[in-house]
Amino acid sequence: MMKETDIERIVEHLGGRGEDLPETAGDSRSEATRWKELDRIAGMMRDEPVIGTPAGLEELVMARVRAQRTSWWRAVAKVLLQPRTVSFDPLRALRSPISGQECSFYFIMVGVFYAVLSIVLMIGFGELGTTIAAPGWVRWQPQIALITAGCMVAIGLYLLKDGKTALRMARIGALVYLGFAFLNGIIVSLKWDIPVSAYVSLLSAIIGLPTGLFLIRTIQNCGKRYA
Amino acid sequence: MKQIDEGEIIGRVLGGDREAFAALVDAYKGPVFRLAFRMTGSTQDAEDLTQETFIRGFQSLGRFRAGERFFPWLYTISLNVIRNHLRKAKAQAEDSGGKGVLEAADPRSDPTEAAIGREQGRRMQGYLLRLPVPVREAVILRFYEGMSFEDITSVTGDTLSSAKMKVYRGLEKMRTMMEADGFSAPE
């Protein structure tokens, strides 16, 4: 019985167009004959003429490639996941011109933050609903956070186009966001006269005002490239 | 096989130029078709599987890593497509044994030589189709496609030792089948 390592060593030489098999293959007469037979079978396969491809195969493939439609989720995944050579530096973004892609990144990140916040608020208000009846405007806070998230991500994706129109839209979006965040903080504290409302409005102001100012500043710096 | 700048072509396709994909199809349609043909024994199935391989390759091109070799990557897709096909069809090798060889064009110019060659090829294809799928893959890649064992491992995911043993077992099984049929390999 041959060792597996010897078999592996001999197999490498099979079908090698007249190449002699290693010595190990000929330990006994019957073994040598068997290996020669395997070598000939391998050679038969190796010497088989190359089969041609059917005519028109390339055209058939290309017709199917042309007919391929990109689904919306694939397109979004492509935009979001494709590798980019962009560095993100929020402090530099406040001082010097930045690209549309970097600006887009900040908007998308704010969107992600609000998406998470909306989930937290939904869970929180769900628990709170059984003990404290919150007024209408306050109960809408999770949905407001969710809509803010959607708008921010949409602006971010639009900014990937890196054009003047996208920048104008982003500027309007950031101003609306800033104003709304400020008003939301005031309305919540006026509508809900319990100590927790102070925390909600404080949170809204702490998050909203600096974020809004940061986004406006990055848009200004992004716009400098077109000046 | 034509020498092409695969990286540049892939970049163009990913950038939206679908027509650039034709260069990759042109360069690799032969090996992909041959692999499918040897695995299934049917020209029609091989043609369908070749198309499917390229469509899957086109759809997955975004996941192709720069610096990677395109050919083994495409071969891996091709093998997966073929394996799925064989699994679904549950094709018994004996049922379809060798029919594809008769369908395929023989490039030999001498009719007598071509006829002998076709008969030999038909028999070999029949034996090949009676091998288990993983063993058949290894044998085809090694002898029909002339791939190194290192390349075979990158396509099949086997270890070097396992790939060699599969090839050995495949040859040994073919030898036993040929012996039982009284068909001997020419000297």
pLDDT band at A179 (very low <50, low <70, confident <90, very high): confident
C-alpha B56: how far from its chain's center? 16
- Which of A15, A38, A61 has the CB atom closest to B25's CB atom? A61
Overall pTM > 0.80: no
Q: Which residue of A has its CA nearest to B144?
A: A46
Q: CA of A59: which chain B residue's CA is closest?
A: B22
Q: Do B165 and A66 touch (CB under 8 A)?
A: no
Taken as a whole, chain B contains a residue count of: 187
Closest by CA position to A41, among listed B117, B114, B170, B152: B170
What is the rounded average pLDDT of the residues A163-174? 87
* Residue A208 pLDDT greater than 70, yes or no: yes
Could you tell me the two tokens for A157? Answer: 């994706």
Residue B102 pLDDT exceeds 60: no
Look at residue B184 in the predicted model and tell me its pLDDT.
Answer: 67
DSSP state letters, B131-169: S-HHHHHHHIIIIIS---HHHHHHHH---HHHHHHHHHH
Tell me what the pLDDT averaged over chain B comes to: 82
The C-alpha angle with vertex B138 and arms to A17 and B132, in degrees rounded to 5, equals 125
Average pLDDT of span A210-218? 89
In this complex, do B18 and A66 lie within 8 Å of one another by their Cβ atoms? yes
On the question of pLDDT at A69 being above 80, the answer is no
C-alpha span between A88 and A106 (Å, rounded) = 9
For residues A158 and A101, the answer to whether their CB atoms sit within 8 Å is no
Cβ of B172 under 8 Å from any chain A Cβ? yes
User: Each residue of B19-30: b (16+ CB within 10 Å) or e?
Assistant: ebbbbbbbbbbb
pLDDT score recorded for residue A180: 85
Q: What is the pLDDT of residues B22-51, one digit of tens each?
A: 999 999 999 999 999 999 988 999 999 999
Please say if the pLDDT value at position A15 is more than 90: no
Mean pLDDT of the region B160-171: 92
Residues A76-89: tens digit of each pLDDT: 776 666 666 556 77
**B31 neighbourhood in chain A, CB within 8 Å:** none
- DSSP state letter for B68: S
Q: Which of residues 112-171 of B touch A (CB under 8 A)?
A: 117, 120-121, 124, 139, 142-144, 146, 149, 160-161, 164-165, 167-168, 171
Distance CA A9, CA A11 (A): 6
Q: Which B residues 43-62 touch A at CB under 8 Å?
A: 43, 47, 50-51, 54-55, 58-59, 62
Q: Report pLDDT digits (tens) over A17-63.
A: 556 666 655 567 777 788 888 888 888 888 888 888 888 999 999 99
**What pLDDT does residue B173 have?**
93
Decide if A11 and B167 are in contact by the 8 Å CB cutoff.
yes
CA-to-CA distance for A94 and A211, rounded, in angstroms? 12
Indicate the range of A80-84, A117-121, A201-205, B106-110 predicted with least confidence: B106-110
ipTM of the complex: 0.78
Residue B105: pLDDT over 80: no
